[in-house]
């Protein structure tokens, strides 16, 4: 069955700005049909890595927050900590990053809560109905505690997933650090002895006997026979001494991400918004960004995150690409293999179709959609 995806472009007449248009779009798409009265409403978004300039402006978050407040809901903006050591790997740094990028209660209209807690270890294990790769997804507690879930994503390229849209914002974005590890890696923990300070803080996180302290060297080590690769220890180390090879095959990575997204939205009201603007070739997790690969397209909203992603990628592929971006540079390289897809051509190691196909298989949504244009 086709899902409805609502769309409006960024063209604005005098006195109606893009945020007003976004409010009209999400109302037309049916956000008011969700009972928000007195409910905690998690708005999952990406606050941008420090130095990146393509993340969504807080003004857009405010437009969604205003709408939820008008419906009697209790909104909060949220994200989980990152697996890699950037400016968002624990709640303190993450909050400072969000504030520095403009996401304050004054600008966004509601608090920011880092869903998986101070060190990214505060998660809930959520069964994945129909899951083939993940039995229990490790999702940030505040995301799961919310009564209503809303995804507000910036649609752009991604070096592994091809593009980052609703499913990536939900699946990867709502995983705790251990949850992100599970999606990215089949491997076991590794401790860098050059970085380890021998504080033993990580020991109490491991329930499997995977960590063994070397008294002589005063360093932590990993017993590769006992380590089950659960990822629990990574959030415990204040010094980024623990790491995992990001070695999951692209197909598994995509399927696990879809299953994580299913775990987040299953069994409760959810709604999804994607803004296709500043379509940089790589994601907002980078400390910089390239020029866009295609022009700004518009805003999309749907109850179906899969249909939403399909509509956004289809709309991008109809655009004429910009010159002098990573996309055109890749296409000039010797041996370039044309995959007839801007996202996969811009990131030759990326692939997204298995994610969409698996999302449909496990019942996350429908790849068939009807586009409803809101003027
Ligand atoms: S990944 Fe899990 S099992 Fe392995 S050392 Fe870390 S906490 Fe222990
Ligand atoms: S918490 Fe980090 S620094 Fe401390 S012992 Fe464990 S790996 Fe080493």
Band (235; pLDDT cuts 50, 70, 90): confident
Q: How far apart are CA 153 and CA 275, in angstroms?
A: 6
Class of the 3-184+248-373 domain?
alpha beta
Contact call for residues 313 and 344 (beta carbons, < 8 A): no
Report which protein residue has its CA nearest ligand 1's atom 3. Answer: 227
Q: Where in the chain is the domain with CATH 3.40.50?
A: 3-184+248-373
Report the run of H or E that residue 149 belongs to, with start and end: strand 148-154
What is the Cα–Cα distance from 270 to 41, expressed in whole angstroms? Answer: 9
Nearest Cα residue to atom 6 of ligand 2: 202
Report the nearest-CA residue for atom 4 of ligand 2. 199
116 vs 168: CA distance, rounded Å: 17
Ligand 1 mutation pick, 185, 230, 245, max ligand atoms within 8 A of CB:
230
Tens digits of per-residue pLDDT, 325-360?
A: 999 999 999 989 999 999 999 998 899 999 999 999
Which residue has the CA at smallest separation from atom 8 of ligand 2? 196
Q: What is the mean pLDDT of residues 128-149?
A: 97
Question: Looking at 158-172, 205-219, 235-249, 283-297, which range is the least confident one?
Answer: 235-249
Q: Which residue has the higher pLDDT, 329 or 245?
A: 329
Beta bridge partners, 126, equal: 137
CB of 189 sitting under 6 A from ligand 2 = no
237 lines ligand 1 (CB under 6 A): no
- Whether 196 lines ligand 2, by a CB cut-off of 6 Å, is yes
pTM comes to 0.91
* CATH (one of 3.20.20.210, 3.30.530.20, 3.30.70.20, 2.40.10.340) for 190-243: 3.30.70.20
Point out the ligand nearest to the CA of residue 198: 2
Phi, psi of 156 (to 5 degrees): -155, 180
Q: What percent of the chain has pLDDT over 90?
A: 83
Residue 211 CA, closest ligand 1 atom number: 5
pLDDT tens per residue across span 84-134: 778 999 999 999 999 999 999 999 999 999 999 999 999 999 999 999 999
pLDDT of 248 strictly over 80: no
Q: Please state, in angstroms and rounded to a whole number, the distance separating the CA atoms of residues 270 and 303.
A: 7
In the prediction, which pLDDT does 208 show? 84
Identify whether the C-beta of residue 188 lies closer than 8 Å to the C-beta of residue 223.
Answer: no
Answer yes or no: is the C-beta of 218 below 6 A from any ligand 2 atom: no
- Whether residue 96 has its Cβ less than 6 Å from ligand 2: no
Domain with CATH 3.30.70.20 in the chain: 190-243
């Amino acid at each position: 069955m086709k899902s409805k995806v609502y769309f409006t472009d960024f063209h604005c007449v005098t006195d109606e700005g893009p945020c007003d248009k976004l409010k009209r779009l999400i109302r037309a798409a049916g956000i008011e049909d969700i009972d928000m009265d007195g409910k905690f409403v998690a708005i999952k978004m990406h606050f941008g890595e420090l130095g990146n300039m393509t993340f969504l402006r807080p003004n857009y978050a405010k437009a969604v927050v205003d709408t939820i407040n008008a419906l009697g809901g209790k909104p909060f903006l949220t994200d989980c900590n990152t697996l890699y050591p950037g400016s968002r790997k624990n709640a303190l740094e993450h909050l400072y990053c969000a504030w520095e990028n403009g996401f304050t209660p004054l600008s966004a209209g509601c608090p920011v809560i880092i869903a998986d807690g101070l060190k990214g270890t505060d998660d809930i294990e959520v069964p994945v109905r129909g899951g083939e790769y993940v039995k229990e997804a490790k999702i940030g507690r505040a995301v799961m505690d919310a009564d209503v879930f809303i995804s507000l994503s910036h649609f752009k390229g991604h070096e592994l997933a091809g593009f980052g849209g609703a499913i990536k914002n939900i699946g990867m974005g709502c995983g705790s650090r251990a949850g992100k590890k599970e999606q990215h890696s089949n491997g076991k923990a590794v401790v860098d002895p050059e970085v380890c300070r021998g504080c033993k803080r990580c020991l109490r996180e491991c329930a499997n006997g995977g960590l063994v302290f070397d008294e002589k060297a005063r360093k932590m080590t990993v017993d590769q026979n006992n380590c089950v690769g659960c990822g629990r220890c990574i959030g415990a180390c204040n010094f980024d001494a623990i790491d995992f090879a990001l070695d999951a095959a692209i197909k598994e990575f995509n399927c696990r991400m879809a299953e994580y997204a299913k775990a987040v939205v299953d069994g409760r009201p959810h709604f999804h918004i994607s803004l296709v603007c500043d379509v940089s070739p790589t994601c907002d997790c980078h400390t910089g960004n390239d020029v866009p690969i295609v022009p700004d397209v518009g805003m999309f909203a749907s109850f179906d995150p899969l249909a939403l992603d399909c509509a956004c990628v289809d709309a991008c592929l109809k655009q004429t690409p910009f010159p002098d971006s990573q996309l055109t540079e890749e296409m000039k390289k010797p041996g370039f293999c044309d995959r007839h897809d801007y996202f996969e051509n811009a990131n030759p190691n990326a692939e997204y179709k298995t994610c969409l196909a698996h999302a449909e298989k496990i019942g996350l949504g429908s790849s068939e959609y009807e586009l409803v244009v809101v003027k």
